[in-house]
Amino acid sequence: MASTYKEKLIKEIEETPQEIIPKLYEVMHHLRDQLMQKAKMSGKRGSLKGIWKDSLVDEKLFSEAKSSLFPYEGK
């Protein structure tokens, strides 16, 4: 199936006027780069489990943040 698409692309390129070929190359090059970059980026992400392990949180900062988010809880 891939060879069929490759053949179709080659046919389209052969039928394209010569003055358009440089622009067509740029478009294909950028498209391929973007598709390859997305393929590299996609995948299973690592877990964030344990990221806060052994971290200390200042209770004052926690209380201030909580009261700013939930002002009705302190009443």
Q: Give pTM, 2 decimals.
A: 0.45
Q: For residue 14, tell me if it sits in a domain.
A: yes
Q: Which residues contact 24 (CB under 8 A, 6 or more apart)?
A: 13, 16
pLDDT of residue 35: 84
Q: For residue 75, tell me if it sits in a domain.
A: no
Structural domain that includes position 11: 2-41
Q: For residue 17, tell me if it sits in a domain.
A: yes
Q: For residue 12, tell me if it sits in a domain.
A: yes
Q: Residue 16 has which token pair?
A: 């394209």
Residue 15 has pLDDT above 90, yes or no: yes
pLDDT of residue 44: 66
Domain count, the chain: 1
The residue ranking higher by pLDDT, 24 or 73, is: 24
8 Å CB contact between 51 and 59:
no
**pLDDT tens digits, residue range 27-67?**
999 988 888 876 666 556 677 777 777 777 778 887 888 88
pLDDT of residue 18: 94
